[in-house]
Amino acid sequence: MELINALVALTNYVIIPATAYGAQLALGALGVTLIYSILRFSNFAHGDTMAFGTAVVILITWGLQAMGISFGPLPTALIALPFGIAVTALMMLGTDRVVYRYYRRIRAQPVVLVMVSVGVMFVMNALTRFLIGVDQINFADGERFIISARTWNQMTGMREPLTLRTTQAITVVTAAITVVALFWFLNRTRTGKSMRAFSDNEDLALLSGIDPDRVVKVTWVLTAALATIAGTLYGLDKSFKAFTYFQIVLPIFASAIVGGIGNPVGAIVGGFIISFSEVGLTYAWKKVAGYLVPAWEPDGLVQLLSTDYKFAVSFVILILVLIFRPTGIFRGKVV
Amino acid sequence: MKKILMTTAAIALGASAAGAEEIKMGVLLGFTGPLESLAGPMAQGAEMAMKEVSDSGMLLEGDTVTPVRGDSTCIDSAAATAAAETLVTSDGVKGIMGAMCSGATTAVLQNVGMPNGVVMISPSATSPALSSMEDGGFFFRTAPSDARQGEVMAQEILDKDISSVAVTYTNNDYGKGLADSFQSAFEEAGGTVTISAAHEDGKGDYSAEVGALASAGGDALVLIGYVDQGGSGVLRGALDTGAFYTFVFPDGMVSQALEDNFGAELEGSFGQLPDSEGEGMTTYLGMAEEAGFDGSSAYSGGAYDSAALMLLAMQAAGSTDPKVYKDMIMEVANGPGEKIYPGELAKGLELLKAGEAIDYDGATAVELIGEGEAAGTFREILFEDGKITTVGYR
């Protein structure tokens, strides 16, 4: 019984939240990695692309709700998602045409493109605020819980609560579907293969007749889709606020680099490594320890690191990886 | 030609100096950043006071008051300093209503307010550190120090027979200051604080923080944070995982957004914010409603009072020079004299012009103590049927 209590506490406070957070980071990191491997620069505007996409999804969700359309127990935002992706994709293609295309044509250094993306980030950031405002928005509707703390306690009579939110389950399922679809696209379709060829060796790809403009366009559309999905899942699970997407860029980059930037598998693994170490290392093990070793009553909280150092965790991992294995866990590419 | 131009300019300048002047006043608030949703009603409150004075035509020579907004961002001291610098040097403001958060206020006071000799009245900076800071007599606040709020909060919790709490605070001057003053007051009165952990603002995910708090346990969670920021994130996490069911909210959390987003889930949770009851507040709420904004938003009334105090002090001193009118602020605020409430600024100006004393009471029952900070009455609130209800004042 004590063992089960310990397990439940661990699942409730570490495993479930970290898995959902990890899935969101992984989707974000996939977008960053895609841009990095094909367009060859670190896209700092990715966080705000997520915010923009989510803002569009929220606006469409409100429209759908006003028309009385709902998705039963699932959030209405899932219906709005494809439309949101379409708008964001148009936005990305527009940005590419107005901004990035010029720098590609003059063959600018990657670092110049990074700075350009920082500029785009600020513009997108402001645009999102104009579009939807600065307030915190909760747009998750439908059933909130699959298992809620109160029903769990009534059902099992256990001391420890357990919750599984609908949004957490949706996050993991959607992320899984997205990742499978992306890998199928990259490995099985002609366009996907040409993208990989372009990523491996640009000159060789051009010689073999791959249309670079098309590759670039498809990349932006895919990135827009990944960003909008990641942003919407994150917003559904937490809540939407333009400010937080600006901040999430850091853990996303950490995930991409730890996994091996430019490598899609690495991005996913990196996302989960970052999320589990953030939550796990700063978790206070007092309760779990109390259940496992009843005789031992710890005075402190049995916490490796105070939660203040959560951000530091990603950075330490990032630095260790950069020192000892700069290409990341799954050999990414380094420009 | 050049000469003619210069003479014309000189004449124009001379002419304007003799008649009614346009007085610029800074409104320095965190329009972007973690408290951006509180900044709007605060700025509107301050600007309402300025418009009232302006429209009355009673200030000095019938001077008009123009507000100039500056963004103090709340968290970025450098940005706040730069914004204040712009207000003072390029706009030439005669006083600053602000800044908003304690950290930004300290930075602006040290780098801009004191060196340039500009009066600052903050409606919302509550860090205890500001009480003892050297300010050259230029700094006032219509908000009480957190040291007092810590005591009030501790007492309120003990009165509800809760003796063990977990504390989380936003990692800045305000959060740390209030958490420390609460913890010492609570432990002195016999309570136990199981954990006092900081949370960072601006992140979407607070699973780790919630996990640590839940593990430490306690009968209630004292959530010292911002409703637009980490505060709501931690609250969401704690509610969803069933870590806590009762919460204690200080001022940064109590707002319409909290009620809208959480409402029914917070049944029985309670909190307190610096606020006051009485005639002034009621009048102010009515005026705000007429002007089309929410006057009950935290510190909105205090912002009105801060702006009004500066303008009344100018009238009392007969000068718009901050170095002169700063000495009149305490006098105007504390009386003795006729009590002045919101909407009566014209009357106050008139009385001062006639050489009579006034006691500005304003929206928040202004009474400045010590080095010029509010004595502090607190409104206690309780969540009942998903609504924030006022249970009393202490």
The label of the residue with tokens 């969670």 reads B221
Q: Contact B30/B72 with Cβ under 8 angstroms? A: yes
The string over B328-341, giving b where at least 16 C-beta atoms fall within 10 Å of a residue's C-beta and e elsewhere, is: bbbbbbeeebebbb
The DSSP bridge partners found for residue B270 are: B248, B382
| Owner of token pair 């704690």 | B238
Dist CA B333 CA B313 (whole Å): 9
Interface confidence, given as ipTM, is 0.72
Query: Same domain, yes or no, for B165 and B268?
Result: yes
Nearest of A281, A316, A317 to residue A302 by alpha carbon: A281
- Residue B3 in domain: no
Q: Quick check: is B11 in a domain?
A: no
B235 neighbourhood in chain A, CB within 8 Å = none
Q: What is the pLDDT along chain B (394 residues), one digit of tens a residue?
A: 556 555 555 554 444 444 678 999 999 999 988 788 889 999 999 999 999 999 998 898 889 999 999 999 888 899 999 999 999 999 999 999 988 998 899 999 999 999 999 999 999 988 888 888 888 889 999 988 888 888 889 999 999 999 999 999 998 878 888 899 999 999 999 999 998 988 988 776 788 888 888 888 889 999 999 887 788 889 988 988 888 989 999 888 888 888 888 888 888 899 988 776 677 888 999 999 999 998 888 889 999 999 999 999 999 999 999 999 999 999 899 878 888 999 999 999 999 998 888 999 888 888 888 778 887 778 888 998 888 888 888 7
**A58 burial type by CB count under 10 A (0-12 exposed, 13-18 middle, 19+ buried):** buried
Do A239 and B257 count as a contact with CB atoms less than 8 A apart? Answer: no
Q: Is residue B43 part of a domain?
A: yes
Cβ of residue A165 closer than 8 Å to a chain B Cβ: yes
Domain coverage including residue B162: 146-275+378-393
Query: Choosing among A11, A13, A246, A250, which should be mutated to test the B contact, i.e. which has the most B CBs within 10 A?
Result: A13
In a domain, B38, yes or no: yes
Is the domain of B129 the same as that of B263? no
* A243 to B33: CB separation less than 8 angstroms, yes or no: yes
CB contact under 8 A, A284 and B212: yes
Average pLDDT over residues A302-308: 77
How close B32 comes to chain A (CA, Å)?
Answer: 8
What mean pLDDT comes out for the span A280-290? 81
Q: Which residues of A touch B232 (CB under 8 A)?
A: 136, 239
Please check whether residue A284 touches B, CB under 8 A.
yes
User: B-chain residues within 8 Å CB-CB of A282?
Assistant: 208-209, 211-212
Yes or no, beta carbons of A310 and B208 under 8 Å apart: yes
Q: Which residues of A touch B216 (CB under 8 A)?
A: 284, 286, 301
- The answer to whether the CB atoms of B207 and A17 lie below 8 A apart is yes
Q: Are residues B263 and B229 in the same domain?
A: yes
Same domain, B153 and B254: yes
Phi, psi dihedral angles at B364 (to 5 degrees): -110, 25
Indicate whether B258 and B311 sit together in one domain.
no
**Domain check: are B235 and B337 in the same one?**
no
- Identify whether the C-beta of residue A105 lies closer than 8 Å to the C-beta of residue A98: no
Per-window interface: B 129-188 vs A, CB < 8 A: 171
CA distance A36 to A45: 12
d(CA B223, CA B258): 12
Q: Give the pLDDT confidence of A115-153 residue by residue, as tens digits.
A: 999 999 999 999 999 999 877 788 888 888 888 887 888
The pLDDT score that the predictor gives to residue B205 is 74
Q: Domain A2-324 adopts which CATH fold?
A: ABC transporter involved in vitamin B12 uptake, BtuC (1.10.3470)
Chain B contact for A139 (CB, 8 A cutoff): no
Residue A335: the pLDDT is 46
What residues of B are in contact with residue A241 (Cβ under 8 Å)?
A: 204, 228
Rounded CA separation A261/A252 (Å): 11
Q: What is the CATH number of the domain that holds B39?
A: 3.40.50.2300
User: How many domains, in total, are found in chain B?
Assistant: 2
Partner-chain contact B36 A134, CB within 8 Å: yes
A5 and chain B in contact, CB less than 8 A: no
- A238–B236 C-beta distance less than 8 A: yes
Whether B1 is covered by a domain: the verdict is no
Task: Please give, rounded to a whole number of angstroms, the shortest distance from the CA of A221 to a CA of chain B.
Answer: 26
Map out the domains of chain A as residue ranges: 2-324
Q: Are residues B103 and B196 in the same domain?
A: no
Residues 63-122 of A with CB under 8 A from B: none
CB contact under 8 A, A303 and B204: no
Calculate the average pLDDT of chain A: 88
* Contact with chain B for residue A244, Cβ under 8 A: yes
Please give, rounded to a whole number of angstroms, the shortest distance from the CA of A24 to a CA of chain B: 11
**pLDDT confidence of residue B4:** 58
B214 near A CB under 8 A: yes
CA distances for A76 relative to A28, A70, A143, B240, angstroms: 22, 5, 11, 20
Indicate the residue type of A29: A
Contacts of A268 (CB under 8 A, 6+ apart): A26, A29, A30, A179, A259
Residue B4: inside a domain, yes or no? no
Q: Tally the C-alpha atoms within 13 A of residue B177's C-alpha that lie toward its C-beta.
A: 19
Could you tell me how many helices (H) and strands (E) chain A has, helices first? 16, 2
- How far apart are alpha carbons A109 and A12 in whole angstroms? 47
pLDDT for the residue numbered A117 = 94
Is the pLDDT at A8 greater than 80? The verdict is yes
Which residues of chain B does A301 touch, with a Cβ-Cβ cutoff of 8 Å?
Answer: 195, 212, 215-216
In this complex, is the C-beta atom of A130 within 8 Å of any C-beta atom belonging to chain B? no
Q: For the full predicted model, state whether its pTM sits above 0.90.
A: no
